A and B are shown apart, each in its own frame.
Chain A
């Protein structure tokens, strides 16, 4: 299961990109996580995000542990998503209820060898958007990071954790803080980056559908993605990113509902273009949480491959031109101009050949109108 079954790699130029669905693939006949991992690998994908459960029952434990072992022995990246709804800025009771649900995710995250644990923050509650709310989120998230490390285990208890080699040989899961898709929920890009910048052990979870919706459709071109990641690089400083991608319908800066990518105004092509051209500094995982989980993850992979292929072709052409220009002793730009002129000439010649010689107006034929008139006489 190690590596890509088709021998492809997405680690060109030092960039690490992992792609996968949020859950067991829809097309998976079995519904266990391990069967899901097998199917994902066969599709050429290499990551998965598992949705949290209410309580870890013995059958869950067994499944999670098997998945953990499998991911440990392969390049497969496991991740876990916390409760689908949270109220970390709510009353003490609401916050504690959310934290107790999160505790289950932390425990499961350890068993499954999750690299990222993703959490929502929820509504602003009694806070106004601003430094106070961010500080409160930072405090809660510091506590969660601490708890993740506690749960992950200590070296002295090595024997107790013999079944979980990753506990001592790899870093504890990173705590992901997800951007939100609605105005009343904490989680603008700025808020998430600020908290991640202040709390070690956290990572921004850039949910592109949410960012697009909240920004009134802001992600349209590869430059928009460049701007987003530049902002992240300047504010947060890290190069590890965890993203969600799905189509979204939005209105007035709020996500209305999720759709498959093809049906949304949020396109993946510009993101693929940005990653292929400028993503070499990133260590990025993209999870498809579209209604068509793995189908859209494959769609993303295909677009990324296409964007890379296109870039390679452009680079090869530029290199060839530079070599030729050096041989001929001219400037590559001059050679480019000449090639473009030659191409334009070829194109116009081809067009004229296809159209044939210009047609002459028939001299001895009467105009159609007159002919019609004669017939009627």
Chain B
């Protein structure tokens, strides 16, 4: 019996230049049933009131968001907040991807927005480039950041992936995994594989490790 593909929706910029868009595109490549909430367009503002949140989030495994969403204008800011709430209502898990904003001085602001919504987040991915600055903000060491954020916020999964080393760090409610990924792959590709692997492998310790190791497609 073939398994149904993992379903996800992404709220990415219209020009697809953000990390959430990159992960949704990588997921499509490995066979996920993925789509964007906002169509590709040159126009920055859109009417977020026109989005049928329930319809679009219903029966999806993941909602994928970038932390820099609230910095991308009012429409995106409101859509970003609404998507988190409707995902919670519809039982769709949220993956929040923290990357360094274009203006790195605004990381503090971005992190503040994420903390405000931390209870609606099920998976937090931190871009290796943002690790050092975030560790400073949190007053901890880089190597302890994932564990600390996980225990402080109670987000079920907090993870990162270093594509140069090919090593994924995953902190979760049952422990911490350091997984070496044999195949060379980009950060987006690893995260797409992890998101697609999790619903199949389960949320147990070995399931999480197996999803972090897996590279379907």
- Which residues of A line the B interface, CB within 8 A? 23, 26-27, 29, 31, 51, 53-54, 84-85, 97, 181-182, 246, 251, 255-258, 260, 289-292, 295
Contacts and interface: CB of A to CB of B under 8 A. Distances in A.
A257 B88 contact: no
Contact of A258 (B85, B138, B139, B154): B154
Interface string B79-115: 0011011001100000000000000000010001001
B166 interface: no
B116 A291 contact: no
Nearest to B89: A292
B152 A85 contact: yes
Majority secondary structure of chain B interface residues (helix, strand, loop or mixed): helix
Contact of A26 (B81, B108, B173): B81
B84 to A, nearest CB: 8
Nearest to A98: B139
A4 B152 CA distance: 36
B175 to A, nearest CB: 12
B119 A256 contact: no
B116 A260 contact: no
A256 B156 contact: yes
Given A53-B112, A54-B112, A97-B139, A260 B154 contact: no
Interface string B135-175: 00011000000000001111110000000000000000100
A291 B117 CA distance: 8
A84 B85 contact: no
B35 interface: no
A257 B155 contact: yes
Contacts of B116: 23, 51
Given A26-B81, A182-B151, A251 B119 contact: no
B156 A257 contact: yes
Contact of A256 (B77, B85, B138, B154): B154
7 contacts: A26-B85, A31-B81, A53-B112, A84-B118, A85-B138, A97-B139, A292-B89
A219 to B, nearest CB: 18
A295 B155 CA distance: 21
B120 A256 contact: no
Given A54-B112, A292-B85, A292-B88, A255 B154 contact: yes
B119 A289 contact: yes
B154 A246 contact: no
Contact of A251 (B89, B118, B120, B173): B173
Nearest to B118: A84
Interface in B12-67: none
A39 to B, nearest CB: 13
B154 A257 contact: yes
B119 A291 contact: yes
B38 to A, nearest CB: 18
Nearest to B78: A29
A183 to B, nearest CB: 12
Q: Which of B78, B82, B139, B153 has the most CB of A within 10 A?
A: B139
Given A26-B81, A291-B119, A54 B154 contact: no
Contacts of A258: 119, 154
A290 B120 CA distance: 9
Contacts of B88: 260, 291-292
A26 B94 CA distance: 16
Q: Which of B77, B88, B155 has the most CB of A within 10 A?
A: B88
A106 to B, nearest CB: 19
A52 to B, nearest CB: 10
Contacts of A256: 154, 156, 173
Given A26-B81, A26-B82, A251-B173, 14 more contacts: A23-B116, A26-B84, A26-B85, A31-B77, A51-B115, A54-B108, A54-B112, A84-B153, A182-B151, A256-B154, A257-B119, A257-B122, A258-B119, A292-B88
Nearest to A292: B88
A275 to B, nearest CB: 24
B190 to A, nearest CB: 23
Contacts of B151: 182
Contacts of A26: 81-82, 84-85
B119 A84 contact: no
A97 B84 CA distance: 32
A27 B156 contact: no
B200 to A, nearest CB: 21
A51 B111 CA distance: 13
Nearest to B88: A291
B115 A84 contact: yes
A181 B173 CA distance: 13
Given A29-B78, A54-B108, A256-B173, A290 B153 contact: no
Contacts of B118: 84
A107 B63 CA distance: 37
Nearest to B151: A182
A252 to B, nearest CB: 10
A257 B81 CA distance: 20
Q: Which of B122, B138, B154, B156 has the most CB of A within 10 A?
A: B154
A130 to B, nearest CB: 22
